[in-house]
Structure 1
């Protein structure tokens, strides 16, 4: 894992810095904890997302899942990187376990940039965040037992 400043990025810089702007749209009346995400597809398209809370807490959406859902609904399935931003000053924002698994659905070797408001960030991969993970390819592996209908 590496630490950089977002302003030093060439390809990803302006696009991934959009995660800081995406948090401005967060709907977080309960936690007051704004999160933004910017997802970079392989063709250079950037999808942004923010957290959207709900009075029924478990129905809230995280910024990472919002950005991925926007991309998937637009036909994208392969991603190069995601930047995640919050208002935390003393530490890098980290995705929740649910978001880590949600991101893992689309591969384990793409980059994740955990950032701070000052533009500094830590680069990791999905594999770093969710080691020994379970993904779509695991469902295709030979199993000892299957149900009667073959599933």
Structure 2
């Protein structure tokens, strides 16, 4: 079967700029003046993606309600907003004989392809433990449970138990 179409939020955010302004003008309920103001903001250096996200949320809110609009980015597969956790956060229990470096925990939990990717993410500030950025010196203690994020989309609540 053919792949399912992307959610409307994802389709709109990926729209190129010239057609985007036609879409904004046709769909916005706030009038031409505000549409022109948004376009002027983008021409002055604002990120067009931010305008697309606002428009997508406005469309989703109009047809599906404010709550659906607030969560539309999840359906579009975008990264979680700061401090936000996925609804289906996996719970992973790992066993070890002793405390482990965070790179090894991420690898063993399957949040990264291999330890080298984990080290790269750690070096780039792309790993969070309980919402705080950590580096490769972070040690996962036996008995500890933390919410781990590796990159933009890999999340899990990981418990490290003794063997």
Between structure 1 and structure 2, the one with the greater Rg is 2
TM-score by length of 2: 0.25
If the length of structure 1 is used for normalisation, what is the TM-score? 0.27
